[in-house]
Chains A and B, each alone.
Chain A
Amino acid sequence: EPEVTQTPSHQVTQMGQEVILRCVPISNHLYFYWYRQILGQKVEFLVSFYNNEISEKSEIFDDQFSVERPDGSNFTLKIRSTKLEDSAMYFCASSPIELAGGPTDTQYFGPGTRLTVL
Chain B
Amino acid sequence: AQSVAQPEDQVNVAEGNPLTVKCTYSVSGNPYLFWYVQYPNRGLQFLLKYITGDNLVKGSYGFEAEFNKSQTSFHLKKPSALVSDSALYFCAVRPFNDYKLSFGAGTTVTVRA
Contact = CB atoms under 8 A, between A and B. Distances in A.
Contacts of B41: 9, 111
Interface residues of B, number: 22
Interface string B74-102: 00000000000000001010000011111
B36 A109 contact: yes
A43 B99 contact: no
Interface in A42-60: 42-45, 48, 55-56, 58
A42 B104 contact: yes
Interface of B: 32, 34, 36, 41-46, 49, 51, 90, 92, 98-106
Interface of A: 3-4, 6, 9, 31, 33, 35, 41-45, 48, 55-56, 58, 91, 93, 95, 102-103, 105-112
Contacts of A112: 43
Given A105-B32, A105-B51, A106-B34, A48 B100 contact: yes
A45 B100 CA distance: 6
Nearest to B46: A106
Nearest to A58: B100
A67 B51 CA distance: 29
Contacts of A35: 101, 103
Given A43-B90, A105-B51, A109-B36, A48 B99 contact: yes
A48 B101 CA distance: 11
A85 B78 CA distance: 38
A45 B49 contact: no
A110 B43 CA distance: 5
